[in-house]
Each structure stands twice: as structure tokens, then as C-alpha cells.
């Protein structure tokens, strides 16, 4: 992807209608829109590709939503950071609230240490797996199979594999805030809020390129303050959201 060639096209756009806690990001190819979460108030929000608020969806029965990814159709997976509970949600196009009572769920319970849990999710279409990042203490990148594609009424055959942990020299960031997969190449993008960067990794875990989020890098006039969500669209454009309510779009250079 050569992230070093990307340049900011929309910088620090304030999402009107949202005041704080904008977190997580995922792209829905079918609607050609983005979805994000608010972690204190249990809301999913739908955004245009220009960062305009289209819809708010209240999610009943969840706390501290941090991770979000679109799987296909109306299906999304969300993560509760502190409990490390994953839930599969059905979010119809016009819905303004959804319930979680009947939602399929999976609780991991790995390194439970409060507000340093699951921060980001990404559905890997190529390999049909759910990728999860744990923020820090320690940082982890996990691959989960057998959960999203489990058949109702049948026992789950869940397998969890660690792709990267904090003792890996290839994971040189201070924390992990989000991640996204690039379907065309199978490459993985990891976002670090504290290190102000997005790093592209090959399928074998080798660092390939870097997008700096500091002032003066990638055409930015100001450093991205607190990057919390990352996603790619079908045209290869890269989107970020940052607390409190800021929206960014980066495009590949020619």
C-alpha cells in the first residue's frame, strides 16, 4: 500500500451532532458508509465518507464498546473493552436501536486489567477470521476463528491464535488503538494513538510502510490528537477518527 505516499484530504473535521468519545471505525461496502462507536454512551453511529453524521443507533445491553467491524449484510461484531466480550449484532439499515439479549457472544478474559483491554476489531474476509487488538499491558494481536461463522444451535469450535505480542520486535508501537485489513493484499494495518502512526504489515508480519500522524507528516497541519479508529474503503482511501469527534480521510498519492 505504501502508506508513506498517502496524504490527508480531510483533516480534523468535527462531526456535527457528536460531542465526545468517538471511537472505532469500520467500512460497510454495501452501504458505502462508515460506522463508529461511542464508548461511554452505547451508540453506533453511521457516517458518510465525508464525515457527516447520518444515523445514531442505540445498542441496549452493552458497556464500554470499543471495537467494531462489519462482517457482511447487517452483521457487525462489537467488543466491550473491559470484559473482553464479543457480540454479533444485526443492525438493519433503518434501525435506531438494537437489542443484545439474543446476540451470539464470546468472552475471552485474557489479561483482564480494566481499561487496557480490547480496542479494535477487523473482519478478515480473505481468511474468514476475526482480528482483535488488545491495547497494552501487554499489547496483543489475536486471530479468532469459529465464532463469527458458527451455526446457530451448534457448539462453537473456537480457535484463538496470537499473531503478535508486545515482546515482538516488529511491534514497536507504545499501544494499539485499532486495526484494519487490506482485502486486496491481505496486509494488516495497526494504529497506535500514543505513537501517532499507522503501520502496514505483510501477511507474514513484516513491517512494510508507515503513515505518520504528526504535524508536518502526510500533509497534516496538526498532530492527530487521539486516534481511536481506522478503516479502509473499497477505493483504498484510509479513514481515521480521533477523540473527541474528529474525522480524517487520507488518499494514496499518484
Range 148-165 average pLDDT: 84
pLDDT, residue 198, reads 96
- Asked if the model's pLDDT at residue 214 lies above 90, the reply is yes
**Set of cell numbers at residue 35:** 460506522
C-beta separation of 76 from 87 below 8 A? no
CA 111/CA 27 separation, integer angstroms: 29
Cα–Cα–Cα angle for 77, 117, 247, rounded to 5 degrees: 65
In three-state secondary structure terms, 155 is coil
Q: Phi and psi of 92, rounded to 5°?
A: -60, 155
- Asked if the model's pLDDT at residue 165 lies above 70, the reply is no
pLDDT, residue 88, reads 96
Give the list of residues 6+ apart from residue 181 with CB closer than 8 angstroms, or none. Answer: 122, 123, 124, 125, 126, 131, 187, 188, 189
Among residues 223, 238, 188, the alpha carbon closest in space to that of 34 is found at 238
What Å distances lie between residue 57 and 36, 70, 191, CA to CA?
A: 10, 15, 25
pLDDT, residue 155, reads 80
101 vs 168, which has greater pLDDT?
Answer: 101
Cα–Cα–Cα angle for 168, 116, 101, rounded to 5 degrees: 120
- Asked if the model's pLDDT at residue 112 lies above 90, the reply is no
CA–chain centroid gap for 213, Å, is 17
Residue that has been written with the C-alpha cell 462531526 in this structure:
15
- Which fold would CATH assign to domain 3-252? Neuraminidase (2.120.10)
Q: How big is the chain by its Cα radius of gyration, in Å?
A: 17
- Asked if the model's pLDDT at residue 239 lies above 60, the reply is yes
Give the N- to C-terminal CA distance of the chain in Å, as an integer. Answer: 12
Helix (H) or strand (E) holding 201: strand 197-201
pLDDT, residue 205, reads 85
CA–chain centroid gap for 232, Å, is 10
Amino acid at each position: 500500500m505504501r502508506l508513506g505516499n498517502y496524504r490527508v484530504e480531510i483533516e480534523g473535521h468535527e462531526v456535527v451532532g457528536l460531542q465526545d468519545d468517538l471511537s472505532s471505525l469500520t467500512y460497510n461496502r454495501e452501504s458505502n458508509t462508515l460506522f463508529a462507536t461511542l464508548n461511554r454512551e452505547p451508540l453506533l453511529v453511521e457516517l458518510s465518507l465525508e464525515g457527516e453524521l447520518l444515523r445514531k443507533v442505540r445498542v441496549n445491553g452493552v458497556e464500554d464498546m470499543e471495537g467494531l467491524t462489519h462482517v457482511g449484510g447487517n452483521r457487525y461484531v462489537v467488543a466491550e473493552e473491559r470484559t473482553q466480550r464479543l457480540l454479533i449484532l444485526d443492525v438493519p439499515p433503518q434501525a435506531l436501536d438494537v437489542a443484545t439479549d439474543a446476540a451470539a457472544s464470546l468472552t475471552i478474559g485474557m489479561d483482564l486489567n480494566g481499561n487496557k483491554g480490547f480496542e479494535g476489531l477487523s473482519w478478515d474476509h480473505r481468511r474468514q477470521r476475526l482480528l482483535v487488538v488488545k491495547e497494552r499491558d501487554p499489547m496483543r494481536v489475536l486471530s479468532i476463528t469459529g465464532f463469527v461463522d458458527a451455526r446457530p444451535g451448534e457448539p462453537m469450535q473456537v480457535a484463538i491464535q496470537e499473531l503478535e505480542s508486545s515482546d515482538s520486535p516488529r511491534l514497536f508501537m507504545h499501544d494499539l488503538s485499532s486495526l484494519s485489513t487490506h482485502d486486496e493484499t491481505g496486509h494488516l494495518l495497526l494504529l497506535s494513538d500514543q505513537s501517532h502512526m499507522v503501520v502496514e504489515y505483510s501477511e507474514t508480519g513484516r513491517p512494510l510502510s508507515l503513515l505518520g500522524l504528526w504535524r508536518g507528516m502526510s500533509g497534516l497541519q496538526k498532530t492527530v490528537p487521539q486516534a481511536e479508529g481506522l478503516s479502509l474503503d473499497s477505493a483504498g482511501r484510509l479513514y481515521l477518527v480521533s477523540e473527541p469527534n474528529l474525522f480524517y480521510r487520507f488518499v494514496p498519492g499518484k
